[in-house]
Amino acid sequence: MSRVVAPYLVFMGDETRALMAKTGIGVMQWAPERCLGQCRLSGAAVDLGLEELTPAQAAEKGARSLVIGIANVGGTISPSWRQVLNQALEAGLDIVAGMHERLRADPELAELARKTGRQLVDLRGPPEALAIGTGKARSGRRVLTVGTDCAVGKKYTALAIWRELGLRGQRADFCATGQTGVLISDKGFAVDSVVSDFISGAAEYLSPANDPDHWDVIEGQGSIFHPAYAGVSLGLLHGSQPEAIVLCHEAGRERLGFFEDFPVPDLQLAIDRHLEAARLTSPDVRCAGISLNTSRLDEAAARDLCVHLAGELSLPVIDPIRMGAGRIVDMLLSLPARA
Same-domain pairing of 51 and 188: no
Segments of 252-316 assigned E as strands:
255-256, 259-263, 286-293
* Same domain, yes or no: 165 and 293: yes
Is the pLDDT at 182 greater than 60? The verdict is: yes
What average pLDDT does range 122-135 have in this prediction?
A: 90
**Residue 74's pLDDT band (boundaries 50, 70, 90)?**
low
**Segment 81-123, tens digit of pLDDT:** 999 999 999 999 999 998 888 999 999 999 999 999 999 999 8
Q: Are residues 322 and 262 in the same domain?
A: yes
| Domain total of the chain | 2
In this prediction, residue 76 has a pLDDT band, given cuts at 50, 70 and 90, of confident
Whether residues 204 and 300 fall in one domain: yes
pLDDT of 277 reads 98
Q: Indicate if 108 and 220 belong to the same structural domain.
A: no
Find the mean pLDDT for residues 72-84.
Answer: 86
Domain end position, chosen among 122, 149, 180? 122
Averaged pLDDT for residues 203-211: 96
Q: Both 45 and 182 in a single domain?
A: no
Is residue 85 situated within a structural domain? Answer: yes
On whether both 114 and 176 belong to a single domain, the answer is no
154-167 and 326-334 helices, crossing angle to 10°: 70
Nearest of 266, 282, 204 to residue 236 by alpha carbon: 204
Query: Looking at the domain assignment, is residue 35 inside a domain?
Result: yes
Q: Is the pTM of this model over 0.85?
A: yes
User: Within this chain, do residues 81 and 152 fall inside the same structural domain, yes or no?
Assistant: no
Residues 145 and 118 in one domain: no
Are residues 163 and 244 located together in one domain of the fold? yes
* pLDDT of amino acid 2: 62
Average pLDDT score over residue span 306-319: 98
Angle between the N-to-C axes of helices 107-116 and 82-90, in degrees from 0 to 180, rounded to the nearest 10: 20
Of all residues in the chain, the percent with pLDDT exceeding 90 is: 86
Q: What is the DSSP letter of 320?
A: T
Give the model confidence (pLDDT) of 8-57 as tens digits.
999 999 999 988 898 999 999 999 999 999 999 999 999 999 999 999 99
Are residues 107 and 154 located together in one domain of the fold? Answer: no
> Which structural domain range is residue 151 located in?
141-334
The domain that holds 96 is classified in CATH as 3.40.50.720
Q: Sign of dihedral through CA atoms 98, 140, 200, 73?
A: negative
Asked if 224 and 320 sit in the same domain, the reply is yes
